[in-house]
Copies of this chain bind each other. A is one copy, B any other.
Amino acid sequence: MEHDDKPLLRVLSGRRVDPPPVWFMRQAGRYLPEYRAVRARAGSFLDLCYTPDLAVEVTLQPIRRFALDAAILFSDILVVPHALGAGVAFSEGEGPRLEPVGDRAGLARLDPTRLHERLEPVYETVRRLRSALPERVTLIGFAGAPWTLAAYLVEGRGSKEFLQPRLLARRDPPLFADLVELLTEAVIEFLSAQIAAGVEAVQLFDSWAGVLPETELRRWCLRPARRVVAALRERHPHVPIILFPRGVGASLLHFANEAGAHALSLDTTVPMAWAAAQLDGEGGLALQGNLDPVALLGPEAGLLAEARTILRAAASRPHIFNLGHGILPGTPPERVETLVRYLKSAGE
């Protein structure tokens, strides 16, 4: 199948497809019993990410069940800090822990020289997936954005506020800039290698962009995103890039106007009609999103009504249907099936 015959890639080239292609963030995950079975066989969560047999299997699981237009590589944004030697550990129920980076000595412990060596199992997963996927399904690679990775590294764990990185960025901007610079280079390297191994599009997750005010957002999120996009566009001109700066509200305008990406993924709070009217970019910027994942746990009628509202609001734009955040663990798989069937019939 030619590049442009895949619905998702057509949309990312700036054209509309009816009905719009669909995939879901965290479509491979705990809501699927077959995922939980594989997860139980893997040792740690990182083992699952780094074992190609298992990572390929869980990536393919939702593709077997649902008529999705994309598979997203099963991995985690924290594999980059891990591959830089930051001592990432996932403990059940507690979320990730990292050796916190708070000073020059901590920054110096991050070692980019073994990045590709440590991430080789991820690239192997990509190679296997590329040959295993059905013809019309696009393979998406991804990375955490530099700010979000820096936030985890400085905080040393998940947080709802991420005060430590926000403070460090203000108290020692040169140190923080060096950290973000190192992560930006690592992200470019990681995404380039995923592309070389076979991913056909990439998404950059800036999950914690929403804790920053505009001035800091420009410096620590928008500028690095522009760097990543420019570097990938130069090295891999045919591979589209989706940005997901979560929680940034009206600052999405800056990402649309200045980042140079092919698509913006919209979080749950973004009014799709506003986005469709206001988020112009060069060459038919595509919009991805943005159903509330909670809708998949509510009644079917409400779910489909909300999906229809989003389809209509995005009807003027190249659109990829997705959620505004990841699928929740308690989601019934049958409800996902119902939604995908509805979406596939919506253009008829």
A residues whose Cβ falls under 8 Å from a Cβ of B: 160, 163, 166-167, 170-171, 210-217, 247-254, 268-272, 274-275, 278, 290-292, 294-295, 297-299, 302, 306, 309, 324, 328
On whether the beta carbons of B247 and A247 are closer than 8 Å, the reply is yes
On whether the beta carbons of A270 and B299 are closer than 8 Å, the reply is no
On whether the beta carbons of A299 and B250 are closer than 8 Å, the reply is no
Residue of B whose beta carbon sits closest to that of A272: B214
Which residues of the other chain, B, contact A171 by a CB distance below 8 angstroms? 297-299
* Cα separation A292 to B271 with both chains bound (whole Å): 24
Nearest 4 Cβ contacts at the A-B interface: A249-B249, A170-B298, A213-B292, A160-B160
If A213-B268, A213-B324, A290-B213 touch, whether A170 touches B250 (CB-CB below 8 Å) is no
The distance from the CB of A345 to the nearest CB of chain B, in whole angstroms, is 22
Q: Which residue from B250, B252, B272 sits with its C-beta under 8 Å from A270?
A: B250
Q: Which residue from B160, B167, B211, B250 sits with its C-beta under 8 Å from A249?
A: B250
Which residues of the other chain, B, contact A254 by a CB distance below 8 angstroms? 271
Which residues of the other chain, B, contact A213 by a CB distance below 8 angstroms? 268-269, 290-292, 295, 306, 324
The distance from the CB of A283 to the nearest CB of chain B, in whole angstroms, is 23
Q: Would you call the interface of chain A mostly helix, strand, loop, or mixed?
A: helix
This chain: how many copies in the complex?
Answer: 2
Mind listing 26 A-B residue pairs with CB under 8 Å? A166-B292, A167-B294, A167-B297, A167-B298, A170-B294, A170-B297, A170-B298, A170-B302, A171-B297, A171-B298, A171-B299, A210-B247, A213-B291, A214-B270, A214-B271, A215-B306, A215-B309, A247-B249, A247-B269, A248-B249, A248-B269, A249-B249, A249-B252, A249-B270, A250-B250, A253-B274
Which residues of the other chain, B, contact A268 by a CB distance below 8 angstroms? 211-213
* Cα separation A248 to B250 with both chains bound (whole Å): 9
Highest count of chain B CB atoms <10 Å: which of A213, A253, A328: A213
On whether the beta carbons of A212 and B250 are closer than 8 Å, the reply is no
Residue of B whose beta carbon sits closest to that of A306: B215
The distance from the CB of A269 to the nearest CB of chain B, in whole angstroms, is 5
* Cα separation A150 to B116 with both chains bound (whole Å): 49
The distance from the CB of A103 to the nearest CB of chain B, in whole angstroms, is 17
* Cα separation A322 to B216 with both chains bound (whole Å): 18
On whether the beta carbons of B251 and A269 are closer than 8 Å, the reply is yes
Q: Which residue from B163, B250, B272 sits with its C-beta under 8 Å from A328?
A: B163
